[in-house]
A = this chain, B = another copy of it.
Amino acid sequence: MASSVDTYIESHQDRFLEELKSFLAIPSVSTLPQHKPDIERASAFVAERLRAAGIENVERIPTDGHPLVYGEWMKAPGKPTVLCYGHYDVQPPDPLEEWVSPPFEPLIRNGNIYARGAADDKGQMYIHVKAAETLLAAQGRLPVNVKFLIEGEEEVGGKAVDRYVAEHPTKLQSDVALVSDTEMFAPGLPTLCVGLRGLVYTEVVATGAAQDLHSGIFGGAAPNPLLGLARILSQLISPDYRIQVPGFYDDVEAPSPEEKASWARLPFDENEFLREKVGSTALVGEEGFAVLERLWVRPTLEVHGIVGGFMGEGAKTVIPAKASAKVSMRLVPRQDPQEILAAFQKEVKRLTPRGLRVEVKTLSTAEPVLMSPSHPSIQAAARALSDTFRQPTVYVRGGGSIPIVARIQESLGIPVALMGFGLPDDRLHSPNEKFHLPNFFAGIRAVTRFWENLAEGR
């Protein structure tokens, strides 16, 4: 027998989708200044949809960066309060030429919606909005109190929301936070993420000569910042993928034997992962660790881009005066981003070749996160997922970083239920990002169940 919730979701399916399309059509790329007006539009859209759903006291909160959107429904006295977090900003869409359909013209193909931000995180955060609308429309009330806090800077470090949570613990006081910005381990497999890697993201800037030089006239005597960066980078991590920053591994906490054993039972095939998800000639990384361990509980160092010199077509014989590399490290529980950053800066300085000056700029940091699967709120989320997807929920970690999760834990002292509805092939941050539409609708159902479970203390 279909509940009133199921009936409401089914009969408003088309409108929910049209709304999601409108949301995804806004190119709210937070890292690019030219998209500032789109950021405004996206935040206005979120505020307007919250109001339309019946959420009260909705406000757009100006910040030094992009606006926050807040709203609440507090009419369930004596019941728990859930803080729903999401972000309306997206990654840049480049390389544009690799998209089958344009990144900001959402298109449905084979049950998926394709657009930048479809899964990360517009589609997933919109689940929370539609869950609230559904319960308020179908039942006239929510089973719990709900607060929404939606930010527009997640992809650029989330400074504004971080400060806001730190400075407004009373306003945001809740019993559990709900974040849908992770993925299911496999299609149809309900998944709760109980740990996340942290992040230190830097820009390493190397300066040599006072101006760009001709490599014919000066080559052999002038320092080359690109070569210097290459030398530094290749010494920061060994060929067998051990990070060479002194003390880097000192605080790394290994997962329990039980947790490791549960991962071994997950439907995961390393060869299939290589073939289907990565597509390189081989997987790489630390010897002695399974791939899932490398992705979830081992720290890493990556280079994301190197800027400087001639980057056009053809040949230019320049020795650039300056070059910089975007370098990040993923951190695992018990590693402290500030300590790692300091050790990294010291090591980069030590490795700086003669003739160059090198500066390390910090673009963002995030604490690693670890939650207890036995916490009652996490159990309520697990049951909601199991009931919706009709399979036992699995507990995994995530390799990515959601800095707000650590902030919520620290400033509000509450657990965070990471109920993710993305799929492993959603291509976050890559061309042809998508979101699986059945998960959008199942997600709405699961969130309503989560709230009901919390209200009923089960």
Task: Mark A residues whose CB is within 8 Å of B.
Answer: 31-33, 91-92, 94-95, 98, 155-157, 197, 199, 201, 207-224, 226-227, 229-231, 233-235, 237, 239, 241, 273, 277-286, 291, 294-295, 298, 300, 302-320, 323, 325-326, 328, 330, 353-357, 363-364, 398-401, 427-431
Question: Do A220 and B399 have beta carbons less than 8 Å apart?
Answer: yes
Question: Do B214 and A285 have beta carbons less than 8 Å apart?
Answer: no
Contact A222 B304, CB 8 Å, known A92-B316, A230-B230, A314-B156:
no
Question: Do A219 and B305 have beta carbons less than 8 Å apart?
Answer: no
Copies assembled: 2
Question: Do B281 and A224 have beta carbons less than 8 Å apart?
Answer: no
Q: Give bound CA distance, A273 to B305, whole Å.
A: 32
Q: Give bound CA distance, A207 to B157, whole Å.
A: 28
Closest residue of chain B to A307, judged by CB? B311
Question: Do B363 and A315 have beta carbons less than 8 Å apart?
Answer: yes
Q: What chain B residues lie within 8 Å of A284 (beta carbons)?
A: 221-223, 353-355
B285, B295, B317: the one within 8 Å of A304 (CB):
B317
Contact A311 B311, CB 8 Å, known A280-B355, A319-B302, A328-B317:
yes
Closest residue of chain B to A401, judged by CB? B216
B231, B304, B357: the one within 8 Å of A310 (CB):
B304
Question: Do B237 and A227 have beta carbons less than 8 Å apart?
Answer: yes
Contact A302 B431, CB 8 Å, known A295-B220, A311-B307:
no
Question: Do A221 and B285 have beta carbons less than 8 Å apart?
Answer: yes
Question: Do B221 and A291 have beta carbons less than 8 Å apart?
Answer: yes
Question: Do A218 and B278 have beta carbons less than 8 Å apart?
Answer: yes
Closest residue of chain B to A218, judged by CB? B278
Min CB–CB distance A383 → chain B (angstroms): 27
11 additional contacts (CB under 8 A) given A31-B313, A215-B328 = A32-B312, A92-B316, A94-B312, A211-B431, A212-B431, A215-B304, A220-B330, A221-B285, A224-B302, A230-B306, A311-B311
Listed by A's residue number, 20 A-B pairs whose Cβ atoms lie within 8 Å are A32-B312, A32-B314, A33-B313, A157-B315, A201-B317, A210-B280, A212-B430, A215-B328, A217-B400, A221-B278, A221-B283, A221-B291, A227-B303, A231-B239, A304-B316, A304-B319, A305-B310, A309-B326, A317-B400, A317-B429
Closest residue of chain B to A314, judged by CB? B31
Q: Give bound CA distance, A298 to B218, whole Å.
A: 12
Q: What chain B residues lie within 8 Å of A291 (beta carbons)?
A: 221
Q: What chain B residues lie within 8 Å of A320 (beta carbons)?
A: 304-305
Contact A156 B315, CB 8 Å, known A216-B401, A330-B216:
yes
Q: What chain B residues lie within 8 Å of A221 (beta carbons)?
A: 273, 278, 283-285, 291, 294-295
For the complex of A and B, list the 7 residue pairs with the smallest distance between their C-beta atoms, beginning with the closest.
Answer: A216-B400, A210-B279, A31-B314, A305-B309, A220-B294, A230-B230, A226-B303
Q: What chain B residues lie within 8 Å of A300 (beta carbons)?
A: 215, 219-220
B218, B230, B308: the one within 8 Å of A305 (CB):
B308
Contact A281 B356, CB 8 Å, known A229-B230, A313-B31, A315-B157:
yes
Contact A230 B156, CB 8 Å, known A280-B222, A328-B215, A430-B211:
no
Question: Do A239 and B304 have beta carbons less than 8 Å apart?
Answer: no
Q: What chain B residues lie within 8 Å of A317 (beta carbons)?
A: 199, 201, 302, 304, 328, 400, 429
B31, B91, B283: the one within 8 Å of A355 (CB):
B283
Question: Do B224 and A303 have beta carbons less than 8 Å apart?
Answer: yes
Q: What chain B residues lie within 8 Å of A319 (beta carbons)?
A: 302, 304
Contact A277 B95, CB 8 Å, known A31-B316, A430-B212:
no
Q: What chain B residues lie within 8 Å of A311 (beta carbons)?
A: 305-307, 311
Min CB–CB distance A324 → chain B (angstroms): 10
Q: Give bound CA distance, A281 to B328, whole Å.
A: 27
Question: Do A219 and B295 have beta carbons less than 8 Å apart?
Answer: yes
Contact A354 B218, CB 8 Å, known A226-B303, A304-B317:
no
Q: Give bound CA distance, A324 to B280, whole Å.
A: 16
